[in-house]
A and B are shown apart, each in its own frame.
Chain A
Amino acid sequence: MVLLQRPHILLLLIGTHQFLQCWIAFGSVNEEGQKQEEFSEELLLKPLPDHKLLAHFHFQSSGPPSTSNGCHHHLFPKAISQLVQKFRIKEMELSFTKGRWNYESWGGFDPLSSSNAKPPGVELWAVFDVPQHHIDASWKNLTHTLSGLFCASINFLESTATYSTPEWSFPPASGNVRYGTLPCEAVCTENLTPWLKLLPCRDKAGIALLLDRPSLYRGFYHSQQLHLTSTGSSSEGIDSGIILEQTLTVVLQPNSEMAIEVHASEKHIQPSWSLSSIFGKQVSGRCVLAKPSSVYLLLDRGLSAANGLTSENFWSNPSFELSANPDRIFLEESSSHSKSLSILYMFQVEKYCESEPFDIGLMWKVPVAWLCQQTPLHASRFLMGSGNERAAIAISLKSTQFTEGFMSANSKDGSCELRVDVFQVVPWYVKVYFHSLRVFVDQQPRAVSDIIEKIHVSPSKDKMSPGVMEVVLKLPCRVNTAALTIEFDKGFLRIDEYLPDANQGFDIPSAIISFPNFHASMVFLEDDSLNKSPLLSKFQEKCPVMSYTEVLLVPLTTPDFSMPYNVITITCTVFALYFGSLLNVLQRRVAEEERFLKAKAAKKTGRLPLLLSKLSAKLRGRRLEPLHSPPSSSSFINSKLVLKVILVAGLAVGWQYFFS
């Protein structure tokens, strides 16, 4: 039928058009002899120990520095390039996260987790390439632009009380960094759609086709990131290359209906999954604009060790079965500190088409249990104390047994030290007393100067800027537990400074704990085709191990929010009373009153006083009071009037009672 064929034709047209465009782009770029714009789409799947599956989408577009194109691009999103040019951004990262990264079971020592585990809510940092005094203005404009671009309230980061300037502890160490978080920002599809719009194929083709909203947001962790790096000569400004990395990390529970079944034997076996079962969709071919378009399956060190996989037998493994044959298998380059190696299975999406969609599945045959490699110290942060006045923030670090061997291997001589950087931003209404910083190592209180190598503190200014604390700790390698406590006062806010839902409490953003001695990197055995994959080359970069702590909720004293009304009424009453009595006092003249009384007594004696009093009354602008009003009249009224009223009321009551 014609109707059925039409879409195919259309698609074909679009496809060819795009291809042509692409080809033209190639041609034009090649003529110039410059690097062309590139786009890559990759998906990494990784089974997690607690029966979950991590899916990491990685899209990278790069716009090369080109003067010839002017402000036109073939693949690269124009919005982003304009953003970079306008605000002279050197590097920027924006992340939207829902849920918490579980450092204990999902690991924290691989490049995947140390760069993709983010605090809940929105986190934004940017490095600018402008003079110092312009940075704040650029930041403000940037927040507003991003807020419009991603349908989020990033513009709240505009006020100086919400963002901070890390001096040296923040990884992209530079004076031009601005860092801000919004811990209570809700993340949903409205943030994802604009993010997808930056992709050349959106979610209509290629790997992005898998991004099925209901299954994504059903997950346990969802973090959507945008990382911008501008390369090349920065001082000239306009023609610098831009690399845009868009990543989406989700942790999903495959086969949730299987988990409900409580068979003791089946509980320990990992659930089997396939792309179509977790996302409800399949990949029907690549996005034609994407150069490498591949799907990876990563078995990390712990898992491959548990499976008994070694470099010899990883082709034929007994414990699980893949539904599709991998195109390549990469082995991690063996390193000194771990015997087992990660294994990476690569699938190329190009081979598949609409009639034969790509769907990879994994079937476990035997129960396996393993542990992910964790950060050297597990960090957790909590509030101490109770009441509305004072409290304390405690950051506790516990050594994870997993890395113990690693650390002892690292320590060649006896004096081995573990460096830990702590970066903590506290909002101004949490008034931190930095002198109350105390350090405990292995449950022994230690002098701050012994442990802290370097500290930078910028105290908060009320309603102006948050407090920032950057600490470098030098802990002995054999440390079991360490704790940092710092006390604070809970501030009082003006009624218009309370956020909506003030009774929920106020958030203290996550602290960043980083371990500069340790670098998470995954170097796979050298292969020339490997260089083409941006995801894998990103894995090879040495990034410091980092972890975020929990967001804290500080309950502050809240006023009764009907208070303005009460205050207005009370103030008005007080004013009325005050002015009333003041006027009364001002008007009253004691001498005059005495005279008045006497005149009353002597009113029959002469007409002169009467006249005078009339005159004075006229002068005062009042009506002449009848002189007859006797002071006893009030009591007279009291007794008789009350009697009458009671009598009438009694009659009425009796009447009513009698007739009903």
Chain B
Amino acid sequence: MAETKEKSLSDEKPKPRVRPIVRLGIFLISHSFHFSVVCCTAGVLALFLLPVLAKNTYISENALMPGSASPMLSNQHVSDGNRLVKDLTNPNSKSSETGIESHKIIAQYMLDLGAEVSFHKFHPQMNQFHPLHFFSSPDSGKIQENYSCSSYGINTVGIIRAPHGDGKEAIVLVTPYNALKSGFGEALSLGIAYSVFSLLTQVTWLAKDIIWLVADSQYGEYAAVAAWLREYQTPKFSSLSTPNAEMCPDVNNLFELKGHSISGSKFSNSFRRAGTMASALVLKVRDQNEQFEDTISIYAEASNGQMPNLDLINVVNYLAVHRQGLRVNVEKLWSLLNSSWLKSLGEIFESLAKVAKSLYPKWKFGIPATEYVEGTATLASSLYYQALGVPTGPHGAFRDYQVDAITLEISPKFSLDKVWRNDILLRGGRLIEGVIRSVNNLLEKFHQSFFLYLLTSPSKFVSVGVYMIAFALLIAPLPMVAASLYVDANSSSNCSKGDSSTPSAITDTDEHSIAIRSWRWLNSAKLVFIVHLWGAIVSLLPYFISQIPDCSPTTSFMIWVLLSILSLLTLNSVLASPLACAKATQEKEWALVKSVTISSVFIGLGLMSVINFATAEIGALLMVPMCLLAQPLKLDVRAGTLRSFCRMICNLVLGHIAFPPAAFFLLKGMLDGFGNANVGDFWMWVESLWAWNSATYLFIGMVQLPCWVLCISILFHTC
């Protein structure tokens, strides 16, 4: 046939056509340097562009209807609230040293409204390091041996049953209150909550039950709320022989008072429940305030950077700004507000936007420079608190049970006259009423709006689709560079070998050598694996160190460092010192190590971005340049060009910055000043991270630290 004829005709090798996608890949790998420079710059630039790209918030769930009903909270309820504030701040009520009197007062007030009241006693639980408890759902808590009658807290819980409701859902209102040393602010927050509560006992529109939790904050606000939630969601039915709070005389005293109450059936000392929690509001009033306006601060970050649904923040923001005339704040990094470089960056963006607008009037993306600076400061704090993974208030306890919650902190302009107090009670109460009414309208749980977002102002947000771009651009070069390094290392050794051997020898040794060469990366993978294993050991060490009694943070930290170094050396020697043997076998070994390191960093960052985006973003900012730039210092010294000198400087600087403790002290110094930096601070910080089950701790221990060690080992590689 014709084909056979063709075949016989052809004897020269035709150039095979490569598929476009493969060609693109090869192109990117071969130009990985330019590609990585472009991508990293674009990634950082995109991060700085986020405040410009932020969208205005809007209420996504139609059922919320905030502000559509006129507030029903009247002066009658405000005077009720005022009565409670007066009774609580009355010096007589503080006579008791345990503060039980004020709990009785609150309970009596609740009972008078016709609410169901119960006390919840709890023992504060020490935060402990459970190495395997990251990501696990909260359990019913460890039983502590040394309960004593002196250390317990009492939460007072009042429940209003919705008259027409079926009791399937509930809204929780939390006011932290420390009976022992309560400021005026705490009493005022109770007053606001009480005025709302007294209104809600009379309204007919309630569809969900209302739970008012007065959390005893003498052992911390979070601990009290978490203890109550634990009892609510995962109660223990069996009690062991540990002495119960019931046996303590004080508590019995507490219940005796209620015996003669006229509507005795409303009070019970057993734990009372309502249905599934729809959402929770934590209300606080700050004592001191320097501002000239009534402001309200919203705290939303829960553990591991989880946020409540954006709609909840929107409702609060809308009602506070448009109905009650309060100024709404979210956390900012104040130190960024005065930075001149940010201001000039903002001006550049502003002028660029002007140019763009003059070109085409529909391009309106510019924001004023001052707004940009504020947006960046808010964004930075939003990123910081999410990355930290530590909740910013008692609302964090609710998020562990998938309940949307925020903390509202009202900071009124302070004066002591009665008119002002009534005003803040009225406005605060109406705000809370409006939010509760909106949530009450909700038929389904919060699901319409975003859960993954960063705030740049109370009314502006960056959604996940936008902020992922910056991160994706940052980590996009990693696989490319890893591939190009791998190809380089393979081909260079291939060339050197090919040159040395005769062409005829290629044919028989080819398969064997290719097989060996293609598996050579396993050697470096082993090294990377060992370092990561070491990272895991290092992150487990604090568990044992924290068992040592009477250890100051500084000594603990020192022990930790020593043990870490020791374990690294041990691992290194036990597992046949891979660093030394690598050098013997291959001079291009460092490139392979770098390639595998970069791949592992890519995987680590990718995983972390799913768990806690902000941590991954900040980690990527530190680690991506370090990984990409890492090259043996010897080579740079040998080269002696300006470029290699620059690279060497960069490497040295990054090598210092990216070390986790160094990064911590740098950040702390930037925020609070370097004056009071202490070595033990890092230990305390780490302690707080694991106490809150923050995934950031795992990230630092198992991704960042090994990466840093590997980069350092590449820097000091003897090739």
The chain B residue with its CB closest to the CB of A593 is B17
A260 to B114, CA, bound (A): 12
Q: Is the CB of A371 within 8 A of B265?
A: yes
A514 to B80, CA, bound (A): 43
State which residues 240-296 of A face B: CB under 8 Å.
Answer: 259-260, 262, 267-268
Q: Looking at the complex, which one of A383, A444, A503, A552 makes contact with B238 (CB distance below 8 Å)?
A: A444
**What are 18 A-to-B residue pairs whose CB atoms are below 8 Å?**
A50-B114, A99-B164, A120-B167, A121-B166, A259-B202, A260-B76, A260-B202, A380-B273, A386-B234, A386-B400, A388-B402, A445-B237, A485-B237, A503-B444, A503-B445, A505-B276, A553-B276, A558-B447
Number of B interface residues at 8 Å Cβ cutoff, please give it: 53
Interface locus among A190-198, A226-234, A465-473, A594-602: A594-602
Q: B6 contacts the other chain (Cβ, under 8 Å)?
A: yes
Taking the closest CB of chain B, its distance from the CB of A254, in whole angstroms, is 14
Q: Is the CB of A597 within 8 A of B14?
A: yes
The chain B residue with its CB closest to the CB of A508 is B168
Most buried by B among A367, A444, A595: A595
Contacts of A183 in B (CB 8 A): 166
Contacts of A260 in B (CB 8 A): 76, 202
Q: B359 contacts the other chain (Cβ, under 8 Å)?
A: yes
Q: A105 contacts the other chain (Cβ, under 8 Å)?
A: yes
Contacts of A383 in B (CB 8 A): 276
Contacts of B150 in A (CB 8 A): none
Main secondary structure of the interface of B (DSSP, over half): loop
A396 to B163, CA, bound (A): 23
Q: B420 contacts the other chain (Cβ, under 8 Å)?
A: no
Q: Is the CB of A384 within 8 A of B14?
A: no
Q: Is the CB of B10 within 8 A of A105?
A: no
Q: Looking at the complex, which one of B3, B163, B237, B401 makes contact with A220 (CB distance below 8 Å)?
A: B163
Q: A612 contacts the other chain (Cβ, under 8 Å)?
A: yes
A102 to B209, CA, bound (A): 14
A residues near B (Cβ < 8 Å) are 49-50, 98-100, 102, 104-105, 120-121, 183-184, 218, 220, 259-260, 262, 267-268, 367, 369, 371, 380, 382-388, 394, 396, 398, 440, 443-445, 481, 483, 485, 501-505, 507, 550-555, 558, 591-595, 597-598, 601, 609, 612, 631, 653, 656-657, 660
Contacts of B169 in A (CB 8 A): 553
Q: Is the CB of A504 within 8 A of B445?
A: yes
Produce 1/0 per residue, B200-220, CB < 8 A to A.
001010000000000000000
A151 to B239, CA, bound (A): 50
Contacts of A485 in B (CB 8 A): 237
A612 to B276, CA, bound (A): 77
Q: Is the CB of A550 within 8 A of B238?
A: no
Q: Is the CB of B168 within 8 A of A507?
A: yes
Q: Is the CB of B358 within 8 A of A50?
A: no
Most buried by B among A104, A218, A262: A262
Q: Is the CB of B276 within 8 A of A555?
A: yes
Contacts of B262 in A (CB 8 A): 268, 367, 369
The chain B residue with its CB closest to the CB of A49 is B265
Q: Is the CB of A595 within 8 A of B3?
A: yes
Contacts of B165 in A (CB 8 A): 99-100
Q: B550 contacts the other chain (Cβ, under 8 Å)?
A: no
Contact A595/B6 with A120-B166, A387-B137, A657-B358 known, Cβ cut-off 8 Å: yes
B residues near A (Cβ < 8 Å) are 2-3, 6-7, 9-10, 12, 14-17, 76, 80, 112, 114, 137-138, 161, 163-169, 202, 204, 233-235, 237-239, 262-266, 270, 273, 275-276, 355, 358-360, 400-402, 443-445, 447
Taking the closest CB of chain B, its distance from the CB of A603, in whole angstroms, is 13
A383 to B275, CA, bound (A): 8
A371 to B265, CA, bound (A): 7
Taking the closest CB of chain B, its distance from the CB of A649, in whole angstroms, is 11
A553 to B274, CA, bound (A): 11
Taking the closest CB of chain A, its distance from the CB of B158, in whole angstroms, is 15
Q: Looking at the complex, which one of A104, A483, A502, A595 makes contact with B10 (CB distance below 8 Å)?
A: A595
Q: Is the CB of B401 within 8 A of A552?
A: no
A552 to B169, CA, bound (A): 9
Q: Is the CB of A386 within 8 A of B265?
A: no
What 4 pairs across the A-B complex have the smallest Cβ distances?
A503-B444, A440-B237, A597-B14, A553-B168
Q: Is the CB of B163 within 8 A of A99?
A: yes
Q: Is the CB of B14 within 8 A of A598?
A: yes
A554 to B169, CA, bound (A): 10
A592 to B2, CA, bound (A): 11
Taking the closest CB of chain B, its distance from the CB of A345, in whole angstroms, is 25
Contact A504/B443 with A99-B163, A551-B166 known, Cβ cut-off 8 Å: yes
Contacts of B273 in A (CB 8 A): 380, 382
Q: Looking at the complex, which one of A50, A501, A551 makes contact with B167 (CB distance below 8 Å)?
A: A551
Taking the closest CB of chain B, its distance from the CB of A191, in whole angstroms, is 15
Q: Is the CB of A483 within 8 A of B237?
A: yes
Contacts of A445 in B (CB 8 A): 237-238
